[in-house]
Chain A
């Protein structure tokens, strides 16, 4: 992708200094301003949160195997699904891709030595960690039973649980998001390497740019809203409770004004990962670069205008509902464009089925189902029967787990050698991707049927409808498989760090991009040994040479190159 002014000699066989082994003290980690180290700190944090959130989900799935519940009381069950939602959304999905991969990659991809504000970056991690501790304290000591949506007046006046503490924690965690968002925007604007024009940016950077805009516009709104709930709870200031002169539906408007775009905070970075992975393992330029880049911006813009689709039956006017429905259909189009552009990227490429690619293909499959089932919910009439049911649950898990988490895992597998300088076991990697894909569908597909049949979400018992049990049991079985799938990477990735015989080369995938071509694995503390200069377009792969290399080794005839004399029209 770039020419380097003076390429340093081939890497020293002796252990080179890199960002990981530059310093070993605890203080060197906890006080680091190196974006890569902060990314690693975040990686540890979100992984812990992910498994805590999964544990809560395991309880929920176990309870639902029987129409009368299994071991939990109603109260505890409600706390479980709330814990699951709060942990997964605010402490895994929102920070996962941006704070881990984004932190690590954005400076490297644009040829910078760090983010624009390294200390702000470290501060964001501290704020995140403190807020995680506060929220976990609330969730474990007492718990919260309102669901992660905190609808008023249940959350403000009626719940006797640790709502205030948790909301204060979430309020704080918003600052961490905002700090990251501001940092990314400044970095992308100001710190691109010479020659790195806007339309030479990797699509991953574009998607983070769009995400950061959403973060800094949306997060303050939800933070204030949650804070208002705390005020109403503690000082009985009437904002959302009719008893105090407030309006309960106002809360929903404010909440979804952020929380719908938040879906894109979780999914856009994931889409960025997919663009990188698909191009690398198809050895091809992305299909329709500008359309993919601009669709991210379109999603960010229209995404702010559709929040009312969560409220079709919550007493907003018919006209309001119709407008929100129309806009929701519009926001689906850029996502459709992306899916087809990714697929077409394989066209005349040279496709390799490495672990990250399998994750990316699984992402496309699940994201398509997640997106298409969104049609039922964007369409205002079909939503009437499905809203508040398991159909919603299934739909957003397809988008969030199938989309965001698969892409996150795909990205982790793709950049793992870069981050830690170690190769993981490819067999286990591919297997985990397939187990997760299967387990995921097994878990969440039955929930579409449950929702259509009328099973409301957040129900602990359903003894009045025993015919639902089959689907719940199927879903719970599937979730066991899914859980195994998620545990596998935890083991083989950790194992890859401990082994000594699996040192990764600087560019194991033969990928394009400054982080692969101009930096060692793992990179040195300031990323590059010399300032990269960009001359090529991104994704400047050569599928014909890639395939011919394999064919030569196998003794097969080479496939032809373009005939330079022939005029081509397309």
Chain B
């Protein structure tokens, strides 16, 4: 196993600009380390050699020396100007709009990214783009200032209300990359998070053909199918990783004893679960009211079975592997529900959506 996967020290390089960026980054790092060592060594050497009572010769102390000061001024100045010139050149390139590029329109709002393709396909908190194709984002905010930040591409630019800003990049590696908001924008700032899916050109063409994000891949298993239903019906809005005011967690409830409002208990066997989904008000879980919609007539029996399998697959203990949509502890006080399709679920779905088997293999090998 690759230790850098578990404990990374550098973000992935997935854009045209990333390598050049890292070159400057690590050059500065080397300079910084050299200087740090230099100063530490100087301080330690002087402190030890001239410690009180040592026999070191202290005659002819130097109290000022224009020569030394000139070196101390010029060396940092010249190195600094060198870095300035180098990094400025790269920045100018970054800020130039490529001659031909695919346009993506970005709207930032508390706390979600809306993205729209030229052909009208819309996405929320996720963006599908083809590899090796220059992309230009035209961005604006609907409310406060946000910042579109894709670490693997080494790009970031503010998304400001009242004016358009622009940012261009070219992704070079298929895969899934974090797309974050890097400017504090209020309560759920840290959940203004999504993913960029970089696809091979042929996969991208297929994705467009399938109607963009309406396209749902055929699920491989009952559990995966259940998860799709779960996401489509947004059960996660009320059922999170823990009990909230909106609904009890369903993690680990399978076959557990449930306490009901009338004081009795019931075992959460498949029949009970089916009833709880289709006609939830018949038996209410203790501490809750009749807020869950009845899904009778809205779900096929097949879908209910799939949902039950999905609920079954979520144990209480595991958190990282749990596909339960996450709801922050903050959910208790949040006025608006979080986006029903959360990042984790999208992440899982991508495995079958965009990346072909071979590419996935290549990504794992890294």
Contacts and interface: CB of A to CB of B under 8 A. Distances in A.
Contact of A452 (B10, B186, B190, B334): B10
B149 to A, nearest CB: 7
A393 interface: no
A453 B151 contact: yes
A353 interface: yes
B110 A158 contact: yes
Interface string B49-64: 0111111111111111
A153 to B, nearest CB: 6
A74 B190 contact: yes
B88 A322 contact: yes
Interface stretch (B174-182, B205-213, B225-233, B353-361): B174-182
Interface string B184-198: 111111110100000
Nearest to B90: A381
A389 B160 CA distance: 18
Interface in A545-560: 546-547, 550-551, 554, 556-557, 559-560
Contacts of B326: 68, 461, 463
B62 A347 contact: yes
B336 interface: no
A465 B43 CA distance: 40
A459 interface: yes
A68 B81 CA distance: 43
A325 to B, nearest CB: 6
Interface in A319-364: 321-322, 325-326, 329-330, 332-333, 336-337, 339-341, 343-344, 346-353, 361, 364
Interface stretch (A258-266, A365-373, A431-439): A365-373
B147 interface: yes
Interface stretch (A101-109, A123-131, A287-295): A287-295
Interface string B24-38: 110010011001100
A336 B77 CA distance: 10
A86 B157 CA distance: 26
B76 interface: yes
B53 A554 contact: yes
B155 interface: yes
B32 A453 contact: no
Given A78-B189, A346-B46, A547-B54, A388 B156 contact: yes
Contacts of B165: 315
Given A467-B6, A562-B60, A459 B42 contact: no
Nearest to B190: A459
A189 interface: no
A547 to B, nearest CB: 6
Contacts of A467: 5-8
Contacts of A459: 189-190
Given A341-B69, A361-B43, A381-B88, 11 more contacts: A73-B330, A75-B330, A154-B145, A314-B160, A344-B68, A348-B62, A376-B28, A454-B149, A459-B190, A560-B59, A568-B60
B144 interface: yes
Contact of B39 (A312, A364, A385, A546): A364
A248 B161 CA distance: 8
A145 interface: yes
A71 B329 CA distance: 7
Contact of A381 (B43, B51, B94): B94
Contact of A372 (B32, B144, B158): B32
A466 B39 contact: no
A296 to B, nearest CB: 15
A385 B91 CA distance: 11
A313 B148 CA distance: 10
Contact of A460 (B163, B185, B330): B330
A349 B157 CA distance: 51
B303 to A, nearest CB: 27
A333 B54 CA distance: 34
B145 A151 contact: yes
Contact of A288 (B64, B94, B145): B64
Interface in B280-327: 319-320, 326
Nearest to A245: B162
17 contacts: A74-B328, A154-B144, A287-B62, A287-B64, A313-B157, A325-B88, A343-B39, A343-B42, A344-B42, A373-B32, A376-B28, A456-B181, A460-B190, A464-B178, A464-B193, A464-B347, A556-B55
Interface of A: 68-69, 71-78, 145-147, 149, 151, 153-154, 158-159, 241-243, 247-249, 282-291, 312-315, 318, 321-322, 325-326, 329-330, 332-333, 336-337, 339-341, 343-344, 346-353, 361, 364-365, 368-369, 372-373, 375-376, 378-382, 384-385, 387-389, 449, 452-454, 456-467, 470, 543-544, 546-547, 550-551, 554, 556-557, 559-563, 568, 570
Contacts of A449: 9
B31 A313 contact: no
Contact of B333 (A75, A287, A336, A452): A75
Contacts of B9: 449, 452-453
B364 interface: no
A165 B84 CA distance: 42
Given A242-B162, A288-B64, A329-B81, A337 B59 contact: no
Nearest to A449: B9
Given A460-B330, A550-B53, A382 B21 contact: yes
Contacts of A554: 53
A340 B70 CA distance: 12
Contacts of B32: 369, 372-373, 375
Contacts of A145: 186-187
A318 B167 CA distance: 13
Contact of B151 (A380, A381, A454): A454
Contact of B10 (A291, A339, A453, A458): A453
Contacts of A68: 241, 319, 326, 328-329
Residue of A332, A346, A560 contacting most chain B CB atoms (<10 Å):
A346
Contacts of B334: 74
Given A75-B333, A361-B43, A315 B163 contact: yes
Contact of A282 (B50, B73, B110, B163): B50
A77 B185 CA distance: 13
A321 B91 contact: yes
B366 to A, nearest CB: 14
Contacts of A470: 6-7
B11 interface: yes
A180 B132 CA distance: 59
B332 interface: yes
Given A158-B144, A346-B50, A315 B160 contact: yes
B344 interface: yes
A308 to B, nearest CB: 13
Contacts of B43: 343, 346, 361, 364-365
Contacts of A248: 145, 160-162
Contact of B343 (A71, A350, A464): A464
A305 to B, nearest CB: 15
Nearest to B347: A464
